[in-house]
Amino acid sequence: MKVLVAVDKSPESHMALAYSCHLLEHFNAEVHALYVKPDEVEVAADSFYAPFFSKDGLKEWINSDALQVQQDALGTCEYCLAGKVPCQPMVATGDPAEEILEAAGKGDYDMIVLGSHGHSALRGFLLGTVHAKILHHTKRPVLIARDYREIKRVLVAYRGTRCDQAALGFVSPLLARKKPKITLLHIQENGSNDAEACLTQGGHTLATLGHEPEFHARKGDYVDEVLKEVKSLPYDLVVLGAYGPRKPKYLRVISDEALNVVRSTTRPVLVFRDRAEE
């Protein structure tokens, strides 16, 4: 498995790199930590600080930041190497979201990892424009990492869709060595009565992959009920499909429901997208 972790000067991004290495510990994987440095021309045109720098000074400032981020990433990569996960810093230049999306495609990565602030009282504050753009346009699973923690309890929001089934197949091997407590949560919406059958299907999938999940069922709004469940127990990772039962046929952006869960929780969230369907 190849994993692309976006890093910058923020401590949250390096925490995300450490969280990725914890998730992948002793797993057959390699991690690349990508820093996207700004383009000199764009900085000169847009930055308040540009008038105070010569052209060479601006270039030196940008390169100095890039070198510092690389050094910090190398330090965090030592944590990866301790868990037998190869880790290497990389640098690109341009728009962060566009460069991350391009790198993920060209490098044939299996997952993208982004760091994010862990706490906010404002709905939507936790998700920046870069995160939203990548979530909407990538063809890979995206892990939004917050607040580094050992992975002991995992919540899977499960409605039995093809995307949800593929998400179980993707995440189960990653968790095989850690053996966390996995909760399958089914939200009954619009008076449906398929919870038992749905959870039986998901439980069978996890059982064949060596897990013994717990089963929870709730009735109500998908986003509200997922967030209530997240608050009810100390979950260390939330897993959900990018699409609900009504997956868009042409414009393959993630559902508003998935986006709102990511925006509204302070826990790490893995949003699964099945590359086979793209």
Determine contact, residues 272/171, Cβ cutoff 8 Å.
yes
Q: Residue 176's pLDDT is what?
A: 87
Burial classification of residue 121, based on how many CB atoms lie within 10 Å of its CB (0-12 exposed, 13-18 middle, 19 or more buried):
exposed
Determine contact, residues 170/249, Cβ cutoff 8 Å.
no
> Does the global pTM surpass 0.75?
yes
CA dihedral 64, 47, 58, 35 (to 10 degrees): 30
The structural domains of the chain, ordered by start, are 2-144 (3.40.50.620), 150-277 (3.40.50.620)
Helix residue spans in 83-194 (DSSP H): 96-106, 129-137, 162-175
10-residue mean pLDDT series, the chain (278 residues):
92 90 90 86 52 63 79 86 90 92 94 74 54 90 89 92 87 90 86 64 82 89 94 94 70 81 91 77
Give the three-class secondary structure for 73: helix
Q: Residue 104's pLDDT is what?
A: 95
Give the three-class secondary structure for 153: strand
* Cα separation, 118 vs 147, whole angstroms: 6
Q: Residue 229's pLDDT is what?
A: 96
Q: Residue 122's pLDDT is what?
A: 36
